[in-house]
Amino acid sequence: MTALQKRAGISFEFYGIGGDSMQKAGLESLFDIEDLAVIGPAAIIGAIPRGYRLAKKLVSDLVSKKIDALIIIDSPEFNHPVARWLRADNSRLPIFNLVAPTVWAWRSWRARKMKPYINEVLAVLPFEPRVFEELGGPVCTFVGHPAVDRAKRNTMTAREFRQKFNLSSDQTMLLMLPGSRRGEIVRHMEIFIAAVKRFSDVVEGVQIVMPVIPHMKAEVSLQLQNLQIDVLQIEEEGDKWGAFRAADLALAASGTVTLELTSTHTPMVVAYRVDAILSFIRRYPNLFKWLIDFPSMVLPNLIMRENTVPEFFDRGCHSEALSSALIEIHQSEVVREKQREFLCQAAIEVGCNDPYETAERAAEAVLKRLNFEPSQATP
């Protein structure tokens, strides 16, 4: 939003749905964005009636506003019906999709179905333009990933982090990252704690560091009481990035955090326990190949088309497997350096060496399709 106005040199009116940061930037939000915060097939199915009512109300309001362009951001189960209904009302309305649906992993036919109502997909993963072209979807442009932007902005070094928290550079440091959402933490904490305990039984004097969201700290602390080793909990965003750069390795839940660790070249083991519906689907891959088919659930592996980062999912996600993988990375310099080099290349692919941020690239793509001349845009 800020980049659009800066580069166009004019004021925009923003209307739709967004959180506090977007509202501070000028968005008039119709309802609380938390109403859309659902994860996994089971949760999505339960939210359908409420989502349908909210989507219909949103479309009605946007039509009355006579908007000049629509940018839908993620949440495809909610946003794509909104886009289709608005396209039916106005065939010339420019519609952008920021953060592409994961058609490379889940229901690939969605790419072709998007073409009639999406003018351009603004992708956050570098392989997505190729995927959309192969699947016959709309035009797709890679604009970068916000995780990379955060890495550029938060510059605390490994040395600064260790000095701040009085950690020795000779002490092995392990990051524990079970997820940021309550459901993820509930599913992963017991397994992660058991894996870390096994690791600490082999690696003497290990320091466990765990970034936590403030409102989850009490619940996390309660579960950590069973670990019987010191865990340094950090809450500040800058400290988190210092920890990523200082860590020797990480145990992480699959998700955006794996891209954050990629940007700091931190060796990792990745795990994830899925919900009941997705678990059932993954148990019968041949039966559901038409629905879900992807070689990895780890972003750097997908970016590089090579499964170098060890990953353990669903029934394979247990403490023995996770601790064994962590111990191998810790004890083998060859394995550790191979993964660091792999992550370094993945970081380059995702734009870590590019001075431009995602917002700037996204704004330029939108303004170009809205026919703003270069002379109208500020550098």
The fold of 150-349 is Rossmann fold (3.40.50)
pLDDT recorded at residue 379: 36
Decide: helix, strand or coil at residue 70.
Answer: strand
How many beta carbons lie within 10 A of that of residue 41, not counting itself?
Answer: 17
pLDDT recorded at residue 35: 66
pLDDT recorded at residue 174: 97
* Average pLDDT value for residue range 37-60: 71
Mean pLDDT of the chain: 87
d(CA 342, CA 334): 12
Alpha helices in 135-275 (DSSP H): 146-153, 158-164, 182-202, 217-224, 237-246, 256-263
Decide: helix, strand or coil at residue 334.
Answer: helix
pTM: 0.83
**Quick one: tokens of 309?**
């980062």
| Least confident span in 103-107, 139-143, 293-297 | 293-297
pLDDT recorded at residue 288: 44
Name the residue ranges covered by the structural domains of the chain: 2-144+355-376, 150-349
d(CA 208, CA 131): 39
pLDDT recorded at residue 31: 82
In the numeric block, the tokens 């996204």 are attached to 362
d(CA 15, CA 217): 34
| Least confident span in 22-36, 56-70, 350-364, 365-379 | 365-379
- pLDDT of 117 higher than 80: yes
The fold of 2-144+355-376 is Rossmann fold (3.40.50)
d(CA 378, CA 7): 5
Based on DSSP, count helices (H) and strands (E) in the chain, helices before strands: 17, 12
The pLDDT confidence band at residue 37, using thresholds 50, 70 and 90, is: low
Do 150-349 and 2-144+355-376 have the same topology in CATH?
A: yes
Contact partners, residue 115, CB within 8 Å, separation at least 6: 136, 137, 138
In the numeric block, the tokens 């990953």 are attached to 311
- Greater confidence (89 vs 224) lies with 89
Q: Name the range with the highest mean pLDDT among 50-54, 219-223, 235-239, 276-280.
A: 235-239
Q: What is the pLDDT of residues 274-329, one digit of tens each?
A: 655 455 445 555 544 444 556 678 999 999 999 999 999 877 888 999 999 999 99
Instruction: Determine the longest span between alpha carbons in the chain, in angstroms.
Output: 65
Residue type for position 100:
A
pLDDT recorded at residue 39: 46
- pLDDT of 375 higher than 80: no
265 vs 143, 323, 342, 346, CA distance in Å? Answer: 21, 20, 8, 9
In the numeric block, the tokens 């349908």 are attached to 52
pLDDT recorded at residue 274: 64
